[in-house]
Amino acid sequence: MSDQTLPQAPEKPLSPETPTAGLTRRKLLGTAGATGLVVGTAGGAVGYAAAPAQATPLSSIGSGQEMFHVKHQPGITQGLQARGHLVAFDLAAGAGRKEATALLRRWSETARRLMAGEAAKDDDTDVARDAGPSSLTITFGFGHSFFARTGLEKQRPVALDPLPDFSSDQLDRSRSNGDLWVQIGANDALVAFHALRAIQKDAGSAAKVRWQMNGFNRTPGATAHPMTARNLMGQLDGTRNPKPSETDFDKRIFVPESGSNDPAWMANGSYAVVRRIRMLLDDWEQLSAKAQEQVIGRRKSDGAPLTGGTETTEMDLEKTDANGDLVVPINAHARITRPDQNGGAAMLRRPFSYHDGIDADGVPDAGLLFVCWQADPLRGFVTVQRKLDRGDALSPFIRHESSGLFAVPGGAAEGEYVGQRLLEG
């Protein structure tokens, strides 16, 4: 739907099936025709049974695996995942830097193990026992309030200052912000839930859940070929998302290792803006397809601009019709959100759709769990959202109901945990 505010990363093409030789123990167990549980060694814990050598390999969806120890945390540049959970935690009363350090150690080890298709270190629930990693990613970030709670105010980035108020905001403060933020994504619902449960259990007495939101996207392979996904309004969503192949991608999305006003611990990190955007679907669906296209500025069928061509054709902002009217209306969402209409402002959008049932009035509580990444939220999200605030044709059909901004440090090197350079610096 949106070229900037509501789009998402393109789906990742399916990988070929993985041979049995390269499978983890969990993968092997998940492919065995008839294998049972075995008693482990230490403490009599239930472990993972060995599978016969002739086991059928996992499907391409189950065998997908992302690395934990990488330059940028996983869950940022990867393609859309079919299932996701966003969850914020507040440190418990009396918990500080010491407790936060121990918690990030636990979370990082759990993330590393689960992303590799292994069981959680302690008291695994077995929810994902039969599955492979399914492209699981777990991403960690720090909210503005975290730094005062841990005595690290001097290490708080200026870019983490609270977002300004916007005229379209109707925010529920209890479902906004938080000391810590975790993003979980996978291409299997049980794998994603398993990770969520493990992260929640790891929090123990150090932190409590502030809010949690559950989302979904189209499953990879559901279309004849990889393509831009659609949102719940039926629009192709993410056409103009920045691509890692672009020369200025890293500059726009990630904090550089040097030459930045950000603290050193944020090197190779990014800032995530998280917004729960409710779509007023009953109102939207009363519009004709043509009227919907005028709101967005693109054809609903294939995402091409109203000025013609294909989805990737450059939009002709000056083109007029026989009556002299602009073909792409002046307040069309796709026009307003273009980087060249916002001083080059760009962000990597990687959201999930959500549906939380029907409210008392019979209206669907559904929309977008909007997540966008940028090196500087003031130049990225804030710049574009201010422009939208001044007259976006889409605004009457959406409502921003919760909000958060989080500093997401770079990936953990081998032997490190996420946030170590902040907590031990």
DSSP H helical ranges for 260-299: 281-284, 289-296
Residues 6+ apart with CB under 8 A from 222: none
Rounded distance, CA 256 to CA 251, Å?
Answer: 7
Q: Round to whole Å and give the CA distance between 238 and 9.
A: 6
DSSP H or E segment with residue 213? strand 207-216
Whether 369 and 274 have beta carbons less than 8 Å apart is answered as yes
Q: Which of 90, 130, 188, 237 is catalytic?
A: 237
Residue 283 appears among annotated catalytic residues: no
Contact 278, 401 (CB under 8 A): yes
Under a CB-based contact definition with an 8 Å cutoff, are residues 220 and 61 in contact?
yes
With b for 16 or more beta-carbon neighbours within 10 A and e for fewer, the 352-361 pattern comes to: bbbeeeeeee
Parallel, antiparallel, or unpaired for β 398-408 and 83-91? unpaired
- Closest residue by Cα to residue 195 from 117, 105, 89: 117
Residue found by looking up tokens 């409502």 in the block: 399
Listed residue (351, 343, 336) closest to 395, CA to CA: 336
Judge residue 383's burial from the number of C-beta atoms within 10 Å of its C-beta, 0-12 exposed, 13-18 middle, 19 or more buried: buried
Please name every residue paired with 369 in a beta bridge, in sequence order, or none if there are none: 276, 352
CA nearest neighbour of 254 among 412, 375, 158? 375
Q: 368 has which bridge partners?
A: 277, 353
Which residue numbers are catalytic? Answer: 237
